Amino acid sequence: MADSFGPVHSADDADNTVGGARSDADTDRGGSRKEPIRVLVVDDHALFRRGLEIVLAQEEDIQVIGEAGDGAEAVDKAADLLPDIVLMDVRMPRRGGIEACTSIKEVAPSAKIIMLTISDEEADLYDAIKAGATGYLLKEISTDEVATAIRAVADGQSQISPSMASKLLTEFKSMIQRTDERRLVPAPRLTDRELEVLKLVATGMNNRDIAKELFISENTVKNHVRNILEKLQLHSRMEAVVYAMREKILEIR
């Protein structure tokens, strides 16, 4: 593996992520681990896997116990070997790393997953975190930082490359802003007739039945439904019902 990796950013750094507490299960009172950290290396490039193994073999407290060439094989190996850390690429044939995350957490719940990838796309970062990854590192980090990241994650911290942590913070800020903006905008006001139509839609009635129930034409019902969807900025009748119930515009008993 070439020394073309950059610095790793710990989740304990104040500006980027929140670190976890050190686990005492595998450490003695002096803070050193009693047993080596058992690592499963997952990447579709055999040369890259070999490079990682050579680098990590120099670390006395880290032991590479297996390798896999794709996500499907990684799940099988994780179930068999029960590693402490899974060091895994994002994009691989057959089954990608993000897709494999959830399955690995099911078969080896104690395993912590670090994504080591060239992908700097926000979507991959968010999906990896949602799937259960504890770290997300770009392959531009330096070789000596790999072991540091493994130790940090094994001790309960999170590890995210600085550029990705910055993107994560930006997204969090945007989410907070969008939430605040939604709170400032009152729910669209429906007319009494539109509420009547919506209640009947919620019972599963079609336009013809609603028209008979309210003694109006079927075209009038269609117009009401269209207006309801436009006001709520939704695309289907079912979305309108769910939205109305969630926003307490409508209660079905």
Q: What CATH number did the domain enclosing 106 receive? A: 3.40.50.2300
Q: CATH number for the domain including 231?
A: 1.10.10.10
Q: How far apart are CA 69 and CA 75, in angstroms?
A: 11
This prediction has a pTM of 0.56
Write out the chain's pLDDT in tens, 253 residues. 444 444 444 444 433 333 333 344 444 434 455 799 999 999 999 999 999 999 999 999 999 999 999 999 999 999 999 999 999 999 998 898 999 999 999 999 999 999 998 888 877 888 888 888 888 988 888 877 899 999 999 998 888 877 676 666 666 556 556 555 555 555 678 888 998 898 888 777 888 889 999 999 999 999 999 999 888 888 777 777 777 777 776 655 5
Identify whether residues 100 and 206 lie together within a single domain. no
30 in a domain, yes or no?
no
Secondary structure of 155-223 in HEC code, one letter for each residue: CCCCEECHHHHHHHHHHHHHHHHHHHHHHHCCCCCCCHHHHHHHHHHHCCCCHHHHHHHHCCCHHHHHH
Q: Which domain holds residue 213?
A: 192-246
Q: Does 15 fall in a domain?
A: no
Whether 44 and 162 share a structural domain: yes
